A and B are shown apart, each in its own frame.
Chain A
Amino acid sequence: MNDTVSTATSAKPRHTAPPPVERVAALRWMRENLFNSPINSMITVILVLALVFALPDFVQWALFQSVWTGDHEACRAATGACWAVVGEKHRPMLFGVYPFEEHWRLILALIVYLSVIAATLTPAFWKIKILVPMWVLNLAISLTLMWGGVFGLKPIETSQWGGLPLTMVLFTGTVVFGSPLAVLLALGRRSHLPGIKSVCVVLIESLRGVPLITILFVAVNVFPLFLPEGLELDKLLRVMAGMAIFFACYQAEVIRGGLQAVPRGQIEAAEALGLSYWQLMRRIVLPQALRICLPGLVNHIIAAFKNTSFVLIIGLFDILTATTAVMEDPVWRIFFVEAYLFVAVIYFCFCFALSKYSQLVERWLSEGRRF
């Protein structure tokens, strides 16, 4: 508390001359931040009263009266939250219908995967020579662990993949396949060739105008009809392709915004130097454009992570589908609040961390260019 008090007061000094009269900094802080006008005082009182009424009950429910271990009967006997449902059901919630005795493979894959993500977010690793091999290795290890069939691992069909690893697979596939497509669509939309521009505009605008669900329906119901007889494509792959194209259309619009913000003189200078179109884009325009639209890019990457939950409708077992299926259990189903909160916390941690991280990167990037 002292920390926030001192930063809050030091951040915005209101008057420079006299030192604070009050001996207690907290009192001064309260006067400035909670009771700085009659209306604000009233709002503060109302909010404090509401918190006083609600908070103790909530704490009682969530902590003191709650059940952390035990079976459903212990939960029914208690008046508080039943966190035991997470302990009891976390395996099927996190890993879906993947064979129980093989779960260690998924845990290992998740550890590898998450550490690579953590490394990717660290500036020390921001070199193509490190990033590309690292990701290739990461995908190879994670997918081998999940698929099996080699090194004496039991082969597991993708239809049995589930839970958090499936969410991660969908998310990764969407971003990895979607991002290059997004760049191409954005460039195409800015192209001066009417034929290419119109194809890109129609694709982007029509896919942005429909819900993701309809695209998933296309991937599941219509796409198989596109293929010649005898040829089949894995459902997971089809869904991933649909999500990647959907993601690319939104991301393309963000990138287009960035492209428009690159000063015209930069392009003219590069053309005067005789750079070809692709050299111009790769070396001059895109690095600046992507830097400008970074916040938007991260927003849509976060959205892509949240959008993986739409697969619930078409019956792929991501973490939300798995949880919903688990909560059909008649013995445990009344404790759905706790189960959904658990899943919500997982989504929240990932998305919140990513958005905080993007703010950090924005600060890093703006440090070198104070003008």
Chain B
Amino acid sequence: MAEPQDTAPPATDSPKGDTSILNSMAFRGVAYQVLLAVFVVLGGLYLYINVNANLERQGIATGWGFITENAGFDIGESPIPYDSEDSYGFALWIGVLNTLRVAFVGIILATILGVFMGIARTSRNWLLSKVASIYVEVCRNVPVVLHVLFWATVVRFLPHPKQAISPFEGAYLMNRGVIFPIPNEHPAYVWVGLAFVLGVIGAVVLGRWAQRRREATGQYIPTFWYGCAIVVGMPLAAWLVQGAPLTWNVPELKGFNFQGGLAMSPEYAALVVGVTVYTAAFIAEIVRAGIQSVPHGQIEAARALGLRPGFIMRYVTMPQALRVIVPPTASQYLSLTKNSSLGVLIGYPDLVNVGNTTLNQTGQAVEAIAIMMIVYLSISLTISTFMNVYNKLVAIKER
């Protein structure tokens, strides 16, 4: 490896100038880099030649032509219609969508569970904090592969649809998956959604206005509760105004399987539960560390100034805790997304699973694996960009 030079000028040449050029830091720096570049280029060329020779010998096609060819295999579940007549490219796209489906739901659930468990660990209730720390230690120290495998096997051994377990009215657990009742579609819901968006905007505007007012006059308004009231109240009002339409699409047993409701396949359920339970344990630790990183003196000082508890939480604890929490949480989101590739293990058709099938059918390992890597890399970069932006927002502004 190189000899990076910390101080800029190449000061090693002696005044007499009789030392060899080999002792010059600047020369050495260039030499090391040229050597590395030559090594990378020649190594890459050598591998490229070998790969081509080997592929030719084994009679395997190269290039990206297979993407438009007929895939010829079925995919267990897909958010958009697909059949085996479609191309490999489209099949891989289904894989990407399935991966995102797991990652999106997993990130939301893991955040909820992780924040809850993290706060529970800092609770002054001994029993609650012990329960939370047992959860964290057990789930964190067991491989995610085992989590996913365990839940997949649990789902496989659930009863048949006819004896399905019903945790509450209308929801069923069985070896065909998990099924929930959902409200039937109704045109009124469009307005409810619109009202919700308006409510969120209204809450943000209110928060800004209240902050300006507070800074100008010193009067405090509990914007959090008003904001919640607006965000919940607007859609509720829209719903009530239109006559409160609500009918449920309740799953019913017809023949051997359930009809209606919102169904999740057993593989999907197992994968989501497995990665969620695992990642939430890490998020809980991050949240705990974040909360405990705020010096107690700050909260005491805020209390001594007579600030309200909600205000202390919003303006003293949270800004400092979030600064500690956000960056590692972002990398947990990334690792959850990458761990969703364990779908290949339990037969969930995620990107790696579809890619693996493609690889086995076409034999084009290099291209198939390259596609997987590029897709994951893009997903990772997208998530980390979003989280960086968010991190900039919550980071404490210093000078």
Contact = CB atoms under 8 A, between A and B. Distances in A.
Interface of A: 8, 33-34, 36-37, 40, 43-44, 47-48, 184, 187-188, 190-196, 199, 206, 208-214, 217-218, 221-222, 224-229, 267-268, 271, 276-277, 302, 306-310, 312-313, 320, 324, 327, 334, 336-337, 340, 343-344, 347-348, 351-352, 355
A227 B50 contact: yes
A67 B176 CA distance: 30
B247 interface: no
Given A34-B127, A44-B127, A225-B50, A196 B1 contact: yes
A226 B341 contact: no
18 contacts: A40-B123, A40-B124, A44-B127, A188-B1, A190-B4, A191-B2, A192-B4, A210-B338, A210-B372, A213-B341, A214-B376, A222-B51, A302-B141, A312-B149, A313-B342, A340-B149, A347-B141, A348-B142
Interface in B1-39: 1-7, 29, 32-34, 36-37
B149 A188 contact: no
Given A34-B126, A225-B55, A225-B366, A196 B36 contact: yes
Interface in B357-399: 359, 365-366, 369, 372-373, 376-377, 380-381
Given A47-B131, A337-B154, 11 more contacts: A43-B127, A44-B125, A184-B1, A188-B1, A195-B36, A206-B373, A217-B359, A217-B365, A222-B366, A226-B50, A226-B51
Contacts of B338: 210-212
Contact of A271 (B7, B47, B137): B7
Interface string B47-61: 100110111010000
B124 A222 contact: no
Contacts of A208: 380
B153 interface: yes
Given A192-B5, A222-B366, A225-B54, A347 B146 contact: yes
Nearest to B340: A211
A338 B51 CA distance: 46
Given A34-B127, A340-B149, A348-B138, A214 B5 contact: no
Contact of B33 (A193, A226, A336): A193
Interface in B323-344: 334, 338-339, 341-342, 344
Chain A contact residues, majority secondary structure: helix
A214 B369 contact: yes
B135 to A, nearest CB: 12
Closest 7 CB pairs of A and B: A195-B33, A33-B126, A351-B141, A209-B380, A211-B338, A221-B365, A306-B143
Given A199-B36, A225-B51, A214 B146 contact: no
Interface in B209-263: none
B235 to A, nearest CB: 29
Nearest to B33: A195
Contact of A211 (B1, B36, B149, B341): B341
A307 B345 CA distance: 14
Contacts of B36: 195-196, 199
Contacts of A336: 153, 157
Contacts of A210: 338, 372-373, 376-377, 380
A352 B53 contact: no
Contacts of B137: 352
Contact of A320 (B1, B40, B55, B143): B143
Contacts of A320: 143, 145-146, 149
B60 to A, nearest CB: 9
B191 interface: no
A214 B145 CA distance: 15
B5 A36 contact: no
A334 B5 CA distance: 64
Nearest to B383: A209
B265 interface: no
A277 B141 contact: no
B150 interface: yes
Contact of B352 (A43, A211, A267): A211
B376 A211 contact: yes
A206 B377 contact: yes
B128 interface: yes
Contacts of A33: 124-126
Contacts of A190: 4
Contacts of A344: 142, 146, 150
B175 to A, nearest CB: 13
Contacts of B342: 213, 313
B292 to A, nearest CB: 14
B277 to A, nearest CB: 12
B266 to A, nearest CB: 15
A52 to B, nearest CB: 12
Contact of B4 (A8, A196, A213): A196
A123 to B, nearest CB: 24
Given A195-B36, A196-B1, A209-B377, A310 B57 contact: no
